[in-house]
Amino acid sequence: MEISRRDALAGAAAVAAAPLLAATPARAAAPAADKQAPSFYRYKVGDIQVTVVSDGRFTFPLQDSFITNAKKEEVNAVLENAFLPRDIFTIYFAPLVINTGGKLVVIDTGNGPVARQKVKTNGAFAENMAAAGFDPNAVDMVVISHFHTDHVNGLLSADGTPAFPNAEVLVPATEWKFWMDDGEMSRASGERMTGLFKNNRNIFDAGLKRKVTPYEWGKEVAPGLLAVESVGHTPGHTSYVLSSGSGKVFIQSDVTNNPCLFATHPGWHAFFDQDADVAEKTRRRVYDMLVAEKLQVQGFHYPFPGLGNIEKDGDGYRVVPAPWNPTI
């Protein structure tokens, strides 16, 4: 193809005009964005659609007491090995919204609106859920894994009323019995445990007026969602197997926290595991099962979106995150 003399001249004219355009104020630098994209991620398990909805993160100074049987310097060495900063630690939170075709089911609810106002980096479940196109009024069931603040506080709106007004709230029967027992509450010692009892009474007494349905392990709590005992972190801590057709995923809840420390070092006891020895036994049992069955796992405290596979690595385990899929 030949360039005609006329085209060449037109091109030359355009080049000559360019410096004038460059001098106009319309060429100012693009402004930097001030926030991240809404954080939600969808995938399918058979015919069931899962949406992981981020509640945000919490970053805090690493204390010597964070892991009761490891020194801060040992923890720092593992963080450095994972290319993470020393002396601070980040915990992520990721509730789920599951569309079974017949029911819209939420699993755990994040840190809630009070945290959103105070901490700012978490409590984002409600707004990320809205960004994902879900109406809280349309939720049929809310399934709770255990009664820690980052899982139950999103049950209430900022004004203290139920955040999912039309949903049945399902709670592990053993967890319910423990936290609602006045004797257990009176025997609780230390600021943390007494605070947790107080918070649970506020959520379930004042907020939900005890309108909950306790559920047992070994049974389906929602279509395709089997409740599995995984105690230690709390007395009634629960995980789930979600299955549909040939699709299957293990929803671990808090069997480990952020895996960069607790999958790699399953013997490390975080201060928030209520019975640390039982929690460790559960962790090893569950992770050995995930390895043996090549079962995918969804982790509430994994870095977002928290879907991965597990492989054995020495005395511990390695999480291999599932690649981000741009289609559903």
Q: Which window, 118-126, 146-154, 239-247, 312-320, contacts Zn ion (CB under 5 A)?
A: 146-154
- Closer CB to Zn ion, 48 or 301, in the complex: 301
* Residue 254 is a binding residue for Zn ion (CB under 5 A): yes
From the CB of 22, what's the least distance to Zn ion, in Å? 54
From the CB of 109, what's the least distance to Zn ion, in Å? 11
- Closer CB to Zn ion, 100 or 233, in the complex: 233
- Closer CB to Zn ion, 254 or 280, in the complex: 254
- Closer CB to Zn ion, 140 or 275, in the complex: 275
From the CB of 266, what's the least distance to Zn ion, in Å? 17
State both tokens at 122.
């978490």
* Residue 55 is a binding residue for Zn ion (CB under 5 A): no
- Closer CB to Zn ion, 244 or 254, in the complex: 254
* Residue 273 is a binding residue for Zn ion (CB under 5 A): no
Q: Is 173 exposed, middle or buried (0-12, 13-18, 19+ CB in 10 A)?
A: middle
Strand partners, 58: 91
Q: Which window, 51-59, 182-190, 203-211, 251-259, contacts Zn ion (CB under 5 A)?
A: 251-259
- Closer CB to Zn ion, 144 or 169, in the complex: 144
Q: What is the 3-state secondary structure (H, E, C) of the chain?
A: CCCCHHHHHHHHHHHHHHHHHHCCHHHCCCCCCCCCCCCEEEEEECCEEEEEECCEEEEEECCCCCECCCCHHHHHHHHHHCCCCCCEEEEEECCEEEECCCCEEEECCCCHHHHHHHCCCECCHHHHHHHCCCCHHHCCEEECCCCCHHHHHHHECCCCCECCCCCEEEEEHHHHHHHCCHHHHHHCCHHHHHHHHHHHHHHHHHHCCCCCEEECCCCEEECCEEEEECCCCCCCCEEEEEEECCEEEEEEECCCCCHHHHCCCCCCCECCCCCHHHHHHHHHHHHHHHHHHCCEEEECCCCCCCEEEEEEECCEEEEEECCCCCCC
205 to 224, contacts with Zn ion by CB under 5 A? none
* Residue 150 is a binding residue for Zn ion (CB under 5 A): yes
Q: Which window, 2-10, 36-44, 77-85, 143-151, contacts Zn ion (CB under 5 A)?
A: 143-151
- Closer CB to Zn ion, 63 or 325, in the complex: 63
From the CB of 63, what's the least distance to Zn ion, in Å? 18
* Residue 108 is a binding residue for Zn ion (CB under 5 A): no
Q: Which window, 5-13, 172-180, 248-256, 313-321, contacts Zn ion (CB under 5 A)?
A: 248-256
Q: Which window, 136-144, 163-171, 247-255, 310-318, contacts Zn ion (CB under 5 A)?
A: 247-255
Which residues make up the interface to Zn ion (CB under 5 A)?
Answer: 150, 254
